[in-house]
Chain A
Amino acid sequence: MQILQQLINGLSLGSIYALLALGYTMVYGIIKLINFAHGDVYMLGAFWGYFMINKFHMSFWPALITAMIFCAIAGVIIEFLAYRPLRDSPRIVVLITAIGVSFLLENGMSYLFSSSPRDFPQVMDVQRYHLGSVSISNIQILILLTSIILMILLQLIVKRTRMGKAMRAVSVDPEAAQLIGINVDHTISFTFALGSALAGAAGVMIGLYYNSIDPLMGMTPGIKAFVAAVLGGIGLIPGAALGGFVIGIIETVVQALGFSAFRDAAVYAILIIILIVRPAGILGKTTREKV
């Protein structure tokens, strides 16, 4: 039963990582950039939620949805100002820029709102449901369900809509996409908007879950979500979701076994093992398509 309990805790944490990992993987898929500022967009989402609930007395859903919209806009602006001018630059230049954007957001937010942690307003009373020795809170259920709904929505957008198909076309062959009349820049903006909206949702939900937010809160989850994306197979949307859940579960299990101090180390150890054993990730194909 202990294992089942950890599985539940791991799934709710994992769904946060999964939402974040999706943003990493979509952006990587389309412009081959590891967007290290992605974790900070999640932080922005948490702060937006904090202010909306505290100052404007919003309830959870409006706070979540406006945070998603706010982060989508923030993501598009970041891409437009920081990455688009570097479209034809070597990848390492863009990568370093992403790290710069990350520092800017972290330190800018620390400057504006101080770096000390704040209590995230509890918009709903925590209730725990017990099934035998397993307990699950309403917030855990909320996180899990919201994440799954968002992932299904994302999948529908990517698979069914015109813009989603354009995303897939640009990510496999930008030049051919241009030749059939796809506006590559718009498609990239759209990708950033989608990924950042998911990060915003994750930020608000983690605020609710852990009760505490601060300007550096995006660093570690950002890197873990990146590990999740690599674990599942970078560039693959189902891979990111799977990787996120796996990382969340591993982390909680390691913690439950009494190795709390090593839970981050365990995640990074997995990254190293994956890179050695299966660099393309769990769902990644190692073979290339016919040319």
Chain B
Amino acid sequence: MLLEVQDLSVNYGVIQAVKGVSFNVNAGEIVTLIGANGAGKSTILHTISGLIRPKSGKIMYDGTEIQKEKSQKIVASGISQVPEGRHIFPGLTVLENLQMGAYLRKDREQTKKDYQTVFERFPVLAERKNQDAATLSGGEQQMLAMGRALMAAPKLILLDEPSMGLAPIFINEIFDIIQAIQKNGTTVLLIEQNAAKALAIADRGYVLSVGKIVLSGTGKALLANKDVQKAYLGG
């Protein structure tokens, strides 16, 4: 198991946003957490990345506990996150944004190759290499945020609402890219409000409701589940 979250509880201010959540992600999988706004999905990702400390519970990554580690160490150990709302660095060029993604890396040769890989995957970033990242469109910014996270050469990538606010044409592209990332050997933990698309590409999924996991199963099984259809798929 690459990532194992055990009985995790997290407070967000005075609210208990995550209440005893357990789930796991195996190496090579795409696992998705779905659920309505405020279900605690983003809080879980922030806790994994070390931005928030949990109230209780454990996060095991590659066999070691990481819930008390600093975010730098977590990134260095191979977990990168593409935050909700993209959070690219405006005022820095596209290339500089990608360089920031490789901030902690010391393997220069491999890093150089990875720029090429990212540019091949996202040709639009190569075209706009020297442009201020703030001038990119929403979809392009999402690609930059993903490229930046990939530049850290992660074993596990955490994607927080990658399709949010994007034009339909970009949404399909983003989901194609997520599958390509998996094929390349990176494990994916995906949070999505677009549950239908997320479950369609996921190996397994968990349904969160008000801070708790209420259902889990393979992507296919959850897609076919009546309750899931009713609550999250508009069926």
Measured CB to CB, the residues of A under 8 A from B are: 162, 165-166, 168-169, 172-173, 175-183, 289-291
Distance, CA A169 to CA B72, complexed state (A): 15
Task: Give the shortest distance, in Å, between A28 (CB) and chain B (any CB).
Answer: 15
Query: Which residues of chain B from 69 to 128 have a CB within 8 Å of any chain A CB?
Result: 70-72, 75-76, 80-81, 83, 85, 87-92, 96, 99-101, 103-104
A165 close to B100 (CB less than 8 A): yes
* Of A162, A178, A183, the contact of B51 (CB 8 Å cutoff): A178
Q: Which residues of B contact A179 (CB under 8 A)?
A: 49, 51, 71, 75, 80-81, 83, 87
B92 close to A175 (CB less than 8 A): no
Query: Which residues of chain B from 130 to 184 have a CB within 8 Å of any chain A CB?
Result: 134-138, 141, 148-149, 152
Distance, CA A171 to CA B159, complexed state (A): 23
Q: Which residues of A contact B87 (CB under 8 A)?
A: 173, 175-176, 179
Q: Which residues of A contact B81 (CB under 8 A)?
A: 179
A168 close to B92 (CB less than 8 A): yes
Q: Which residues of B contact A165 (CB under 8 A)?
A: 92, 96, 99-100
30 interchain pairs (CB within 8 A)?
A165-B100, A166-B100, A168-B89, A168-B91, A169-B92, A172-B91, A173-B89, A175-B83, A175-B87, A176-B83, A176-B88, A178-B50, A178-B51, A179-B71, A179-B75, A179-B83, A180-B100, A180-B101, A180-B103, A180-B104, A180-B148, A180-B149, A181-B71, A181-B76, A181-B103, A181-B104, A183-B70, A290-B135, A290-B136, A291-B85
B51 close to A181 (CB less than 8 A): no
Task: Give the shortest distance, in Å, between B97 (CB) and chain A (any CB).
Answer: 9
Chain B residue with minimal CB distance to A182? B103
Q: Which residues of B contact A290 (CB under 8 A)?
A: 134-138, 141
Task: Give the shortest distance, in Å, between A204 (CB) and chain B (any CB).
Answer: 32
Q: Which residues of A contact B71 (CB under 8 A)?
A: 178-179, 181
Q: Which residues of B contact A162 (CB under 8 A)?
A: 103
Measured CB to CB, the residues of B under 8 A from A are: 49-51, 70-72, 75-76, 80-81, 83, 85, 87-92, 96, 99-101, 103-104, 134-138, 141, 148-149, 152
Q: How many A-B residue pairs have CB under 8 A?
A: 72
A180 close to B134 (CB less than 8 A): no
Distance, CA A87 to CA B49, complexed state (A): 20
Q: A179-B51, A179-B81, A181-B75 are in contact. Are A289 and B90 (CB under 8 A)?
A: yes
Task: Specify which of B80, B101, B103 lies most central, judged by the most chain A CB atoms within 10 Å of its CB.
Answer: B103
Chain A residue with minimal CB distance to B76? A181
Chain A residue with minimal CB distance to B90? A289
Q: Which residues of B contact A182 (CB under 8 A)?
A: 72, 100, 103
Task: Give the shortest distance, in Å, between B108 (CB) and chain A (any CB).
Answer: 12
